Amino acid sequence: MISSTLISTSDISISTSTTILIITSILTISWLIWILLTSKQPNPPLPPGPQPLPLVGNLLSLDPELHSYFAEVAKTFGPISTIWLGKKLGILITSPALAREVLKLNDTIFANRDVPVAGKEATYGGNDIVWTPYGDTWRMLRKICVREMLSNQVLDSVYSLRRKEVRNTVKYLYDNVGLSVNVGEQMFLTILNVITGMMWGGTVKDEDRERLGAEFRQVIGEMTAYLGMPNLSDFFPGLATFDPQGIKKNMKVLAKRFDGIFEMMIEQMRKMSGDENKDFLQFLLELKDSGDSNPPFTMVHLKSLLYDMVVGGTDTTSNTIEFALAEMMNQPEILKKAQEELETVVGKDNVVEESHINKLPYLYAIMKETLRLHPALPLMVPHCPSESCVIGGYTVPKGARVFVNAWAIQRDPTIWENPLEFRPERFLNGKYDYTGNDFSYFPFGSGRRICAGTAMGERMFMFLLASIVHSFDWKLGEGKEHDLTEKFGIVLKKKVALMAIPTARLSNPTLYE
């Protein structure tokens, strides 16, 4: 009996041990198989795209109007697509959901830039707010720029400067009543005078302003053209030494002209004494000389910030105003409605002041509709992921050049009713703003790299457009037809400059002085 019991207990013990061994073996084998399978499991594929040719990729099929070409690629291959720019991989983002993944959910990863050769030459090696990698230096530069130049408090303090330059423009237009004027050029010079006045207003003599303005406009126009031009040196790094298109060489010449202007301003400021000229340049010089900044704020950073202020604030806003007036003239009922609103708020026996701006909802709607249809930066500034990640189920490799096509998203017929029509009324509901939180409408970008100059651009657009629409009626010259065709660049322009004839409409000629 005892023997029988011992045998049974022994058998049970052996059986239990065997079972445990078998289970352990199965679990171990299963774990090894899982490790083997997952380690060999490939990453999600690259997004689809047009078939590239050997070596050149898709370069030969590119259309110069990249914003509309990329939109056509998306129609064929989907809202996330691949395009090969030589050896450089481009990723096209063309939907609100995917833009949100890039600019919000993975904002830190995509907060860097793939700096083009032209950008490096223009900005002292890419040391400005636009091209500097995300990190401590970038945060320092943005903080300085926003706090000392673009905050609402600073903008309020220089209202008299904005008013003076806007009134000068109104007077110029009044002196040219009945004649054809280049609207975009006049808007550019007005904004340039405001920005340079803020930067070194106590430094430049009045007689030098016009000469400097003309020089800046020429240089800026050429620089933005090179920044938007596909450059073989960017797509085939081995060719950079040879600069086959001459972009690096030409940009270097333009950058030297810019630097010469900055050097002249800095030298003049150094010769001044006292505190009567507290402008942006003086603050930057004091910051550099003090050594208080961490990371250190250098002369290269100083000049790069001056460059950002001049280039970033002029072409963008002046082109948008030109588009807005052209769209209004193309639909006279919109122009008339805007003028009626201004008459109600301002009166025909008064001039526009910035205090009127917040009482002009229809003009605000015109601004928003212009930025929807003609965003200043149609492809934003391209982003560059600091590590590979998955967007929309596809792999976006580290170092790719990521184009977020705001122009296409803001014309998407699944989002916008009659998207190609200029209809300000769609913005009268107050739904859309410039915070970058709605990825159906984000003309100033979103996330960490959102435009720092939104408040400045908004004020200048509204004040200038309100003033020229309130003060004048506008028409094209005899036999001229409206042309709203766009010309692609890093900054979107009208292909044909708006040449328009102003006619005075205020009650008293003294209002134009």
Amino acid at 349: D
Give per-residue pLDDT as tens, 243-257: 999 999 999 999 998
Q: Which residues, at least 6 apart from 458, have a Cβ–Cβ distance to it below 8 Å?
A: 367, 434
The residues, any chain, with a CB within 8 Å of residue 219's CB and separated by 6 or more, are 254, 257, 258
pLDDT for residue 440: 97
pLDDT over 70 percentage in the chain: 88
Give yes or no for residue 173 having a pLDDT over 50: yes
- CA 24 vs CA 14, 19, 30, 32, 37: distances in Å: 15, 8, 10, 12, 20
Report d(CA 451, CA 438) in Å as an integer: 15
DSSP, res 276? S
The pLDDT of residue 270 = 80
Average pLDDT estimate for 354-377:
97
Residues 34-54: what's their mean pLDDT? 77
CA distance 447 to 437: 8
CA–CA distance, 358 with 259 (Å, rounded to integer) = 39
Please give the torsion angle defined by the CA atoms of residues 19, 23, 24 and 26, in that order, rounded to the nearest 10 degrees: 140
Q: Which helix (H) or strand (E) holds 16?
A: helix 2-40
Q: Report how far residue 510's alpha carbon sits from residue 513's, in angstroms, rounded to the nearest whole number.
A: 5
pLDDT of residue 276: 56
pLDDT of 39 higher than 60: no
Per residue in 496-513, pLDDT tens? Answer: 999 999 999 998 999 998
| Residue-level length of the chain | 513
Q: How many beta carbons lie within 10 A of that of residue 299, not counting itself?
A: 14
d(CA 133, CA 125): 12
> Taking the domains of the chain in order of start, what are their residue ranges?
59-512
pLDDT of amino acid 198: 87
Residue 9's pLDDT is 42
- How many whole angstroms separate alpha carbon 367 and alpha carbon 466? 11
Token pair recorded at residue 173: 């237009």
Supply the pLDDT for residue 261: 85
User: Residue 89, SS3?
Assistant: strand
Whether pLDDT at 38 is above 50: no
At 417-471, the pLDDT tens digits run: 999 999 999 999 888 999 999 999 999 999 999 999 999 999 999 999 999 999 9
On the question of pLDDT at 44 being above 70, the answer is yes
* Closest-CA residue to 477 (of 457, 454, 501): 501
Q: Which of 9-18, 172-181, 395-404, 407-416 has the lowest mean pLDDT?
A: 9-18
What gap in Å lies between CA 52 and CA 15, rounded to an integer?
64
Residue 13: the pLDDT is: 47
Angstrom distance (rounded) from CA 297 to CA 294: 7
pLDDT digits 0-9 by tens, 51-108:
999 999 999 999 999 999 999 999 999 999 999 999 899 999 999 999 999 999 999 9
Q: Which of 455, 457, 464, 476 is nearest to 168 (CA)?
A: 464
Percent of the chain with pLDDT over 90: 70
CATH number for the domain formed by residue range(s) 59-512: 1.10.630.10
Q: pLDDT tens for residues 260-287? A: 988 988 888 887 755 555 688 888 999 9
- Do the Cβ atoms of 216 and 192 come closer than 8 Å? yes
- pLDDT greater than 80 at residue 204: no
CA angle at 382 for the pair 306 and 449, rounded to the nearest 5°: 55
Q: Are 459 and 151 in contact (CB under 8 A)?
A: no
Query: For the segment 408-428, what is each residue's pLDDT rounded down to a tens digit?
Result: 999 999 999 999 999 999 999
Q: What is the mean pLDDT of the chain?
A: 89
Q: Torsion angle of alpha carbons 161, 221, 483, 498, nearest 10°?
A: 40
- Give strand pairing partners of 404: 93
Given this model, what pLDDT does residue 17 score?
Answer: 58
Contact criterion met (CB below 8 Å) for 73 and 81: yes
CA distance 434 to 444: 6
Structure tokens at 155: 């903008």
Give Cα separations from 251 to 243, 300, 303, 431 (angstroms): 11, 17, 16, 42
Residue 21's pLDDT band (cuts 50, 70, 90): low
CA distance between the termini of the chain: 124
Helix residue spans in 115-182 (DSSP H): 117-122, 136-145, 152-157, 159-175
* pLDDT of 32 over the 80 cut: no
Identify the pLDDT of residue 322: 97
pLDDT of 140 strictly over 90 = yes
Q: Give the span between the Cα atoms of 83 and 59, in whole angstroms.
A: 9
Check pLDDT > 60 for residue 11.
Answer: no
Pairing mode, strands 88-93 and 80-85: antiparallel
Instruction: Give the helix ranges, DSSP H, for 49-135.
Output: 66-77, 96-100, 117-122
**What's the DSSP call for residue 486?**
E
Quick check: 156 pLDDT over 80?
Answer: yes
β-strand 401-404 against 472-476: which pairing, if any?
A: unpaired
